[in-house]
Amino acid sequence: MSDEIGRWDRREVVTRLGSAALAAGAVLAGVAFFHDRRRDVPARRKVPDWRAVGVPPRVVAARGGEPAANVRRAVAALGGMERFVRRGERVVVKPNVGWDRLPEQAANTDPEVVAELVRLCLAAGAAQVVVTDISCNDPRRCFARSGIAAAAAAAGAVVVESGRLRLVPADLAGLAEGIEVAEAVLAADRVINVPVVKHHRLSRATLGMKNWFGVLGPGRNRLHQSIHRAIAELAATFKPTLTVVDATRVLLANGPQGGSLGDVRGVGAVAVGTDPVLCDAWGGVQLGLRPAELPFLREAEQRGLGRTDTALVEDLGTA
């Protein structure tokens, strides 16, 4: 063998090495070309904890004024937005923009509540405020009809409809495992959850903890099979900087989509807090439901995610 190699001249060596390199290259190119990328499992992103450090759990409610004034009063009572949003941070405001409905139909968060939060965040020094949600109906129509696209943009926010959101695998446990999450939300430094108070035919009420459905991608419908457990699990995963419960108008029946103005009651109140469970308990009361009537509240309290005693809510009274 070594004798044979010893007889090769330089030209033959170069030719043989070149052929070998060519063959290896062809094999590698084939592997790269035919490799099934769908079987690659990208890393699951961790869901950040967006809560402000050192802030105790509190909920403050304001009523009687315009929606924006109620937001301002409640946030001020909690120490101002500067306590929650720092200069240069990127904030996501997550309202409920699920339905192709007018503000008067109370299926979506009031646009003035959203706009005021955007203004407060920017005034506190936020580098960018993104307003987004994954709608149920056509997202373009939902954002336009709800008035949220126009109000939030006018207030200085970047409005991102669900059609423009990128979904990524996230570290979700329980029933939501495997469902993708909006990357814009996961990338935020702070997240403010802004649900509207309304009836829901499965969970009886859709409030802040249920509002996390709106950051989930396809497959979220399966969570409806065990809705109370799913809501509590989402609350254990997504820990917002603030929850702002909009009860400017309350949809009392035929939720979540609503439509009839006869199902809407003007309450004119907003609650802002750092205890998401207590915020939802307060929202349930605006619908005429005691916390004990909402199983997801009980489950969330048992998991240690917050309290359900609505006597703990600090009511600022009427403006």
Partner 1 sequence: MVASRPRIGHVLLLLPLAGVVACLVWRAGSVREDPAEVLRALRAAAGPTLPEPSTCGAASRSEPERYDRETLYTFIDGAAEGYLARGFQRCIVASYTFSDSAGPPLEAVVEVYRFAESLGATSLFEEERPKGATPLPGPAGGVTDGTVLLAVAGRDLLKATVVSGADGRAALEKIAAAWAAGVTP
- The CA distance from 24 to 8, in Å, is 22
- In angstroms, what is the minimal distance from the CB of 259 to partner 1? 4
* Residue 221 sits in the site that holds partner 1 (CB under 8 A): yes
Minimum distance, C-beta of residue 296 to partner 1, in the bound complex (Å): 14
Does residue 263 interact with partner 1 by CB under 8 A?
Answer: yes
Q: How far is the CB of 260 from partner 1 (least distance, A)?
A: 3
249 binds partner 1 (CB under 8 A): no
Pick out residues in 149-208 that bind partner 1 (CB under 8 A). 200-202, 206
Stretch of 28-36, 170-178, 257-265, 276-284 lying at the interface with partner 1 (CB under 8 A): 257-265
CB 91 within 8 A of CB 85: yes
Between 70 and 96, name the residue whose CB sits nearer to partner 1.
96
Which of 119, 220, 249, 307 touches partner 1 (CB under 8 A)?
220
Instruction: Choose among 276, 270, 318: nearest CA to 74.
Output: 270
259 is a contact residue toward partner 1 (CB under 8 A): yes
Q: Which residue has the tokens 């329980």?
A: 174
75-114: contacts with partner 1 (CB under 8 A): 98, 100-102, 104-105
Nearer to partner 1, 267 or 312 (CB): 267
CB atoms within 10 A of CB 166: 12
- Residue 283 tokens read as 């929202």
Pick one of 52, 137, 140, 189: the residue that binds partner 1 (CB under 8 A). Answer: 137
According to the binding rule CB under 8 A, does residue 50 interact with partner 1?
A: no
145 binds partner 1 (CB under 8 A): yes
Q: Which residues of this protein are in contact with partner 1, per CB under 8 A?
A: 98, 100-102, 104-105, 136-137, 141, 145, 200-202, 206, 213, 220-221, 224, 253-257, 259-263
